[in-house]
Structure 1
Amino acid sequence: MLPLLEKSKSFFLKLSFKRLISGFLGLGLRDKIIFSFLIIAGTIGLSLFSARFYFSNTVLIPESGGVYTEAVISFPRYVNPVIPDQNNAEEILESLVFSSLYKPDGQGGVLPDLAESMTLFEEGKVFLVSLRENIFWHDGEPLTARDVIFTLELLKNQELQNPLADFWKEIAVEILSDKTLKFTLKKSYRFFPFYLTFRIMPEHIWKDTQVNAFVFSEYNLKPIGSGPYKFKKIIQDKDGKVISYGLVAFDKYYAGPYLESFNLKFFGDEAAALSAFRKKEINGLAVSLPGESSNYEMKKILEAQVFSLLFNNSNELLKDFSIRKAINLSINKTAVLSESFPGAGSLTDSAIPLKRFSENFKDVFDQANAKEILLDDGWQDKDEDGFLEKRLSSKTKTVTKLELSILFHDTPGITNVAERIKTDLAAVGISVILKPMGVNEFSSRLQTRSYQMVLLGLSSPIGKEPDLFPFWHSSQLSSPGLNFAVYENKEVDKILSYIRGTKDADINESYEELDALIKNDLPGVFLFQPQINWFVDESFHVPPVEFISDSGVRFSRVNEWYLYLKRVWKR
């Protein structure tokens, strides 16, 4: 080895290409092999060291760029946060174009959006909210506390019929500065931060428009917001129906976004959307049916909603607990879900839209028992027409047929649910009249409680700790309250009020008590918790979403989505 080292030393001291070649050629065969091995090993070692050093001292971060296209199965008309949304197209567009003080995190909580901080005073009855610095509307105008106040005044306006109108009328809101707002509640309210997720409207755009003329404004289709994406273009068909939206990243949004463009394509049904999906024309699609597709990840997301057959408990027939119990026993929930929304929900027997309650579902389907209950209650089929009847009072000779109607929004899946329930109830002698309605008439009937039974999904805007006060407290019996079951129970009222006002970290026991009381009273039949099957191109990184209260929540963290990554040196 010594001669080799001496020759190598001389070789490197007199380094030149010519000398390198001649020096190498001057080595013996054995020395050439050893020398070559050392050179190769050294090169590999240096490469590995360099790679290790590079990867140890750099990190991957999202890089700007990329275009995403989502398919939506509905058509938008009013992209306006203070006009109640009619479909998921409007919910999605508003979540992309507008921003809020706080926004849903997709896990049942909220994240600061335009709010920089929140401070609580007076045992949770006063909230001071400070806005971020340098926040702007898409037209470049600064966003201030005045825009927030302007939006809240619109939400309270009865002409717009916003379901949160009465809620905000009970809260005093003051502007302390351009960047600071003070919210004063009459009593402490655990869920108040969740109600700060309303989307903010630009005062300078809308202040001169009369509320009754809002629906005619061009800004409903060409909105100016302050969200992560701003309007670029709209495409409509010959009938004026919106078939696509083009949005671009808003470079003055406080955090991102990384994707430079976000497109939405609108379809009338799942079949048309799936056709575009199979042709690779879109990157994302939410459908009711689960499935698999190469290069797409399927995300199963539970909605913060319980789809139910609610009884109008002021109805004379439905005041009878025996009838309510018989109806509950008669409905085959497994068949209802599998025939109407296969693979798109979890069966439940609870009014509480939490996974742990649906996981404890107990199937009580028993039509034989239902028939016995009705028979014991005096219902008989004397005219042998297949349906039961009886005299409701000994003072009358009039025979009343056991016939009830179901009000529902006329859409394919819900229509299937109604028809299945009609079949199940007919099997025990209960006649059912189906009353499908368009969205406007359906909404009107809900407000006036003009129904005997109604198929409805009750959605809580809150995730892990749902606020069920609007749906089950007796103070909400009439419109604009949302107690559509017209249900009254003083113990339930106490628990709902306690949940709203308590500062206790753990309120699980209260939910358990609430669940037991409502189940015992049977103000409705709780059917299933809907699930969305969301296919997303696996090339895109999308933050996890556990459950949602509306379609827009899927996009509440869209500023964090990215397609590309790059390496940068650690600081």
Structure 2
Amino acid sequence: MKLRSLYNSWSRNERLIFWGALMVFIITLVIRTSFYIQDNMTLAPKRGGEFREGIVGQPIFINPAVPGSEADRDLSRLVFSSVTDVAESIKLAKEDKLIYSVRIKENIRWQDGERLTSDDIIFTIQTIQDPGARSPLLASFQGVMAERVSELEVKFILQSPYAFFEEDHLKNLLIIPKHIFADTPVENLKFSVYGLKPVGSGPYKVASYKSDEKGVINIMNLEENSGYFGDKPYIPKLTFKFYRNTSELLNAYNSGQIDGFGLSTAESLVEVGLRHNVYYLPSSRYYAVFINQSAGNEKLKDLKVRKAMDSAVDRTKLANDIFQSHATILYGPTVFTEESNSTIDTSLLNGLELNLTVPEEPFLIKTANSIKSSWESYGARVSIRTLPLKSIQEDILRNTDYELLLFGNIVKEGQDLFAFWHSSRRFYPDQNLALYQNKDVDSELETYRKTFDEQERMNKLEKISNMIASDAPAVFLYSPDYLYIATPNLGGIDKTKVINTASDRFADITKWYVKTKRAFK
């Protein structure tokens, strides 16, 4: 009452001053509060929502030991856990560096409630090593023994020291359940009902899927694994939609049917119309024209000719025209090799007849045509043969039926070049596509694998890379970024991670989010 009486006693001007001062106070308070919130609070991930991923291809058998497709590898990465994921500790025997002792975390469960033990890890290794399984991981674990120590302990025994066993192999060894597959012959694994209803131990599990009247799966729903031992994902539900080709995939994104997808190159980006963010993720795959000096073209045995072929290619133009500069230019098998400053006699290309085999992949065909144009500008005549990738993998490589082959290799984190450039790897199904032989390089590659000091290893890698490049067994071209396209509400993607295979985009899936909340810094 006293305040009201006081207010009533004021003159009109006094009341206007009061209300003006009050408004200034309120506005100032709001502004200061806004600045305080802006300075002291941030948007933080919040649990909830759904994310819809688009994939070209079909799931066939979601089993990481014997995947049937790229879609299988993607889904396996979400449903299963790796040895490094489940490990409480991994210790390397210091004496001979041949034994890795792994202790598994307590109380890790499969999605059906069974306990995950060392027996599951051993069973996974045995499955991979069985020739009947035809596992793509066989080469990585050939000669490796897995020995049970206890229910939660297992030893990996190598035939010789290998510095990258943990980071390249154990990190990517996804464990399958023994109690599910022990009684199934490896030849029949791909016919198991668990192929599309996998039992894993990863952050997600398959909830359901839908297929059309022809049995083609078009949707698969994943939900979070409530019993997952690691960090719980922010996104509780993932929906995967499958398409026949990139054109269908892009149409699905532009019409709002999916929220994200990956691309191997930037050439299709112009077709993305809906609002989006593009993540350019460094990739470990590189491409080169591999030269088969045993194919009958005697001129390819001349080092000067091979160096002329290398010098004539405009890598910067390739990177700009095909990848919009989102590719690393290469002059050797690693980034350590720089462009040669020596004078190259490109006149040696005049009259040279060359036959180039290329997979039916748009960006590789564009690359081949650009290289053809470069070589022919110096007087060479180039014939291009394009074939389906499967035909190249199963027929052309098996019979080394190529003079020049435009192809790619994936070098994992350790940058171990042994599989691609050691002379013992010249024969199918190994990956020395240039059939390269150099005893000094062989020796360096063997030593590199046994070198555990990181700085010493980097020095050796640079030396090896330059040694290989100086022999010009291939025309090294580029390493394109892997592109991930998503709606602007997706967060949590690590922009610095290196992509070895497309499924690596899900390596940090538990950190992805589509919902946010305000929180103090």
1:476 and 2:456 matched: no
Shift of 1:257: 0.9
Structure 1 portions without partners, runs of 5+: 1-17, 103-112, 376-386, 389-401
2:98 aligned partner: 125
Distance 1:496 1:403 in 2: 31
8 Å CA contact 2:253, 2:274 repeated in 1? no
Structure 2 portions without partners, runs of 5+: none
2:246 to 270, 287, 298: 270
8 Å CA contact 1:344, 1:533 repeated in 2? no
1:493 aligned partner: 442
2:231 aligned partner: 255
State the Cα deviation string for residues 374-427 of structure 1 (Å, max 9, x = none): 56xxxxxxxxxxx65xxxxxxxxxxxxx454x3443333333333444454455
Higher mean C-alpha deviation, range 418-427 or range 211-220: 418-427
Distance 2:133 2:396 in 1: 17
Shift of 1:51: 9.1
1:381 aligned partner: none
Matches within 5 A, 1:229-248: 229-248=204-223
Q: Which amino acid aligns with 1:469?
A: F
Distance 1:183 1:504 in 2: 21
2:469 to 503, 506, 519: 519
1:418 and 2:398 matched: no
Distance 2:131 2:301 in 1: 33
Q: Which amino acid aligns with 2:107?
A: N
Higher mean C-alpha deviation, range 141-150 or range 167-176: 167-176
Distance 2:341 2:212 in 1: 48
Matches within 5 A, 1:18-29: 18=1, 20-22=3-5, 24-25=7-8
Distance 2:324 2:136 in 1: 31
8 Å CA contact 1:340, 1:414 repeated in 2? no
State the Cα deviation string for residues 330-372 of structure 1 (Å, max 9, x = none): 44445555565555533322211x4x65xx5569998xx43x3
1:213 and 2:188 matched: yes
Distance 1:293 1:137 in 2: 42
8 Å CA contact 1:79, 1:90 repeated in 2? yes
2:78 to 64, 83, 96: 96
2:499 aligned partner: 548
Distance 1:403 1:31 in 2: 96
1:394 aligned partner: none
8 Å CA contact 2:163, 2:450 repeated in 1? yes
Distance 1:20 1:362 in 2: 88
1:564 and 2:489 matched: no
Matches within 5 A, 1:317-332: 317=297, 318-332=300-314
1:280 aligned partner: 256
Matches within 5 A, 1:439-450: 439=390, 442-450=393-401
Distance 1:323 1:537 in 2: 49
Structure-1-length-normalised TM-score = 0.78
1:81 aligned partner: 64
Q: 1:39 to 1:513 in 2, by over 3 A?
A: same
Q: 1:568 to 1:494 in 2, by over 3 A?
A: same
State the Cα deviation string for residues 175-206 of structure 1 (Å, max 9, x = none): 22222222222333221112112211122222
Please tell me whether Structure 1 or Structure 2 has the larger radius of gyration of its CA atoms.
1
1:224 and 2:199 matched: yes
Shift of 1:542: 2.1
Distance 2:339 2:274 in 1: 34
2:277 to 275, 282, 297: 297
Q: Size of the alignment, in residue pairs?
A: 508
Shift of 1:533: 2.5
8 Å CA contact 1:337, 1:417 repeated in 2? no
Q: 1:62 to 1:423 in 2, by over 3 A?
A: closer
State the Cα deviation string for residues 152-181 of structure 1 (Å, max 9, x = none): 111112233334424423222222222222
State the Cα deviation string for residues 44-96 of structure 1 (Å, max 9, x = none): 99999999999999986532101111222333333221225543x33322212
2:153 to 170, 175, 180: 180
Distance 1:56 1:413 in 2: 46
Q: 1:340 to 1:20 in 2, by over 3 A?
A: closer
Q: Which amino acid aligns with 1:489?
A: N
Identity %: 28
1:504 and 2:450 matched: no
Distance 1:431 1:48 in 2: 69
Distance 1:261 1:42 in 2: 47
SS of corresponding position for 1:542: coil
SS of corresponding position for 1:201: coil
Shift of 1:229: 1.4
Structure-2-length-normalised TM-score = 0.85
Q: 1:403 to 1:228 in 2, by over 3 A?
A: same
2:120 aligned partner: 147
2:387 aligned partner: 436
State the Cα deviation string for residues 503-552 of structure 1 (Å, max 9, x = none): 22313322221121111101111111122222222212123133210111
Distance 1:36 1:336 in 2: 69
Shift of 1:502: 1.6
SS of corresponding position for 1:122: coil
Shift of 1:101: 1.8
Distance 2:164 2:132 in 1: 26
State the Cα deviation string for residues 484-509 of structure 1 (Å, max 9, x = none): 22111122122222222122231332
2:111 aligned partner: 138
Q: 1:223 to 1:310 in 2, by over 3 A?
A: same
Q: 1:568 to 1:477 in 2, by over 3 A?
A: same
Distance 1:60 1:176 in 2: 47
1:395 aligned partner: none
Distance 1:412 1:50 in 2: 55
Q: Which amino acid aligns with 1:299?
A: Y
8 Å CA contact 1:415, 1:436 repeated in 2? no
State the Cα deviation string for residues 267-315 of structure 1 (Å, max 9, x = none): 2333222222222322212232245867422111221011111122443
8 Å CA contact 1:408, 1:442 repeated in 2? no
2:484 to 534, 542, 561: 534
1:383 aligned partner: none
SS of corresponding position for 2:187: helix
SS of corresponding position for 2:485: strand
